[in-house]
Amino acid sequence: MDKSEKVLEIIKRLKKKYPNVRTALNFNTPFDLLVATILSAQTTDANVNKVTEKLFKKYKKVEDYAKVSLEELQNDIKSINYYKNKGKYIQDLANHLLERFNGEVPKTIDELVSLPGVGRKTANIVLWNAFGINEGIAVDTHVKRIAKLLGLTENTDPNKIEEDLMKITPNEFWGDITNLLIMLGREICKAKSPNHKICPLNDICPSSNL
């Protein structure tokens, strides 16, 4: 089974296990999702959702993030890891959107990545989950770890892993594969204790100990 066939089999099995998988981050608007995704760096989604529940009620529009003092915004996300950096990213981001994009979230990777605090991972998450656009594959810590365990890539650089995955994955699945691997990573193929016994991929995974 070559890598392309393997990816299809992996997607098929994971889709069966997680039929309607989508981002676990709660959001109403594309901008909400952009904020939530920035907050999610090195932070669990549950913790992000706890904070955004209040945040999105207080900050309805892009202008609201631009208006407040940085200290107040940082304080509103205080329970999030790296809250000082993230607060600054989000406020700068709001200003860039207002000045350069008429207050709207852009719909291309190049434009998204030009915004403060937004890298390829964040851009891909927002494009797929807010707009349904498959321009790339979001490589987060789970995707990075599991793609290597499954033998889909030998690279460790997220950008190269993204290239490898794009080569062997049909475009229609570029959005799904990230969410599917994230679910697998959170529930079964955990960083510290991968549970090979209950993994639906254990018979085609070179890293399985069974």
User: Which residues form the catalytic set?
Assistant: 121, 140
* Residue 25 C-beta: closest distance to DNA, Å: 5
Q: Which residues pair with 189 in a beta bridge?
A: 194
What whole-number distance in Å separates Cα of residue 97 and Cα of residue 106?
8
* CA dist., res. 33 & res. 24, Å (int): 11
Q: How far is the CB of 105 from DNA (least distance, A)?
A: 14
Tokens found for residue 30: 């594309």
Q: Considering beta carbons, is residue 3 or 98 the nearer one to DNA?
A: 98
Instruction: Between 2 and 114, name the residue whose CB sits nearer to DNA.
Output: 114
Looking at the Cβ atoms of 170 and 191, the one nearer to DNA is 191
DSSP 8-state class, residue 189: B
Q: Applying CB under 7 A, which residues contact DNA?
A: 23-25, 37-38, 40-45, 47, 78-85, 89, 115-123, 125, 140-142, 145, 158, 179, 182, 185-186, 190-193
Of 1 and 42, which has the nearer Cβ to DNA?
A: 42
What are the CB-based long-range contacts (under 8 Å, 24+) for 58-64? Answer: 61/103, 62/31, 62/94, 62/97, 62/98, 62/103, 63/94, 63/98, 63/103
Residues with Cβ within 8 Å of residue 19, at least 6 apart in sequence: none
How far apart are CB 166 and DNA at their closest, in Å? 16
What gap in Å lies between CA 19 and CA 35, rounded to an integer? Answer: 26
| Residue 104 Cβ vs DNA, minimum distance, rounded to whole Å | 19
CB 182 within 8 A of CB 17: no
